[in-house]
Amino acid sequence: MAKDPVRVLVTGAAGQIGYALVPMIARGVMLGADQPVILHMLDIPPAAEALNGVKMELVDAAFPLLKGVVATTDAVEACTGVNVAVMVGGFPRKEGMERKDVMSKNVSIYKSQASALEKHAAPNCKVLVVANPANTNALILKEFAPSIPEKNITCLTRLDHNRALGQISERLSVQVSDVKNVIIWGNHSSSQYPDVNHATVATPAGDKPVRELVADDAWLNSEFISTVQQRGAAIIKARKLSSALSAASSACDHIRDWVLGTPEGTFVSMGVYSDGSYNVPAGLIYSFPVTCKNGEWSIVQGLPIDEFSRKKLDLTAEELSEEKALAYSCLT
């Protein structure tokens, strides 16, 4: 029997990540090749015409799984009945703008979208925030949508996670699909900590630790970390535009694993509401290693954290606490 369609909201859908993301969703990359979808696309009035162009292209692509498209500049219409919300729309940092000005714009966007989602989304809607500052935007969304369970509000660090897998695969000349269990801790910013201490590579002789195979701690503790942290800037330099296809693809990975589950023995990175695990202050949206089952994520517990890692976990937590304070100061 055919499944009922799932309604997926993409905000900022006329932007470049949105343009890469909506065809992936319509092809079943996010929710599975047998899962019909109805796309809800939201953007701001200046982007309405471009949004309509995206809608026309979706119609022209004749995706068999796509059972309907809502393209609107009205947040209530966009949020009504959605089961999954991917929040890509946000105010970009423009030259000469202070950090507080960008934060203030985004805080007000996420505050108002939180109310629209809270009032109009389907019960148990799963929310993924992509727009920067992603962790803090997600926190604001959580604060202003108190009836949405905090477990349903997450932010994207899967792109950083996938970048870490990619770097290890290139360094060892192994398939990326054979590398697993890297971790991104903390903020989706350059303070994040890409950690390979628990990562392994599948070899004919079984899984081997990445540290043992790379056999170059100096590289793993410096260049590898900074390459992953700075990858977004490297892409902007090369493409003269920020990453879009990889951001869209990793947003699909995030939701797919959350809804359909992570493979046995594999964990992924998600920005989730901290419960104090690993002595990360509770009440931040912080990226942790998680496994997913039956539509719920759980933080992987009990991983040993060495002194080097501890400092990095704390540093990125401090940045998030500062961002949180700044966001709250914008609200008052």
**Interface residues toward ligand NDP, by CB under 6 A:** 11-12, 14-18, 43-44, 47, 88-92, 109, 130-132, 134, 159, 232, 242-244, 247
Smallest CA-to-CA distance from 129 within 66, 46, 187 is with: 187
163 annotated among ligand-binding-site residues: yes
314 annotated among ligand-binding-site residues: no
44 annotated among ligand-binding-site residues: no
Q: Which is nearer to ligand NDP, 36 or 89 (CB)?
A: 89
158 annotated among ligand-binding-site residues: no
Minimal distance, residue 3 CB to ligand NDP, in Å: 29
Q: Which is nearer to ligand NDP, 91 or 185 (CB)?
A: 91
Minimal distance, residue 69 CB to ligand NDP, in Å: 16
* The one catalytic residue among 40, 120, 161, 188: 188
Count other Cβ atoms within 10 Å, centred on residue 295: 13
Q: Three-state SS string across the chain, please? A: CCCCCEEEEEECCCCHHHHHHHHHHHCCCCCCCCCCEEEEEECCHHHHHHHHHHHHHHHHCCCCCEEEEEEECCHHHHHCCCCEEEECCCCCCCCCCCHHHHHHHHHHHHHHHHHHHHHHCCCCCEEEECCCCHHHHHHHHHHCCCCCCHHHEEECCHHHHHHHHHHHHHHHCCCHHHEECCEEEECCCCCCEEECCCCEEEECCEEEEHHHHHCCHHHHHCHHHHHHHCHHHHHHHHHCCCCCHHHHHHHHHHHHHHHHCCCCCCCEEEEEECCCHHHCCCCCEEEEEEEEECCEEEECCCCCCCHHHHHHHHHHHHHHHHHHHHHHHHHC
106 annotated among ligand-binding-site residues: yes
Minimal distance, residue 132 CB to ligand NDP, in Å: 4
Q: Which is nearer to ligand NDP, 97 or 213 (CB)?
A: 97
Minimal distance, residue 2 CB to ligand NDP, in Å: 32
Residue 285 structure tokens: 């949206």
Minimal distance, residue 12 CB to ligand NDP, in Å: 3
132 annotated among ligand-binding-site residues: yes
Closest residue to ligand NDP, based on beta-carbon distance = 15
Q: Which is nearer to ligand NDP, 44 or 97 (CB)?
A: 44
Q: In the annotation, is 40 catalytic? A: no
Q: Which is nearer to ligand NDP, 11 or 83 (CB)?
A: 11
- Name the binding residues for substrate: 93, 99, 132, 163
- Name the binding residues for NAD(+): 12-18, 43, 106, 130-132
Residues annotated as catalytic (active site), given as ranges = 188
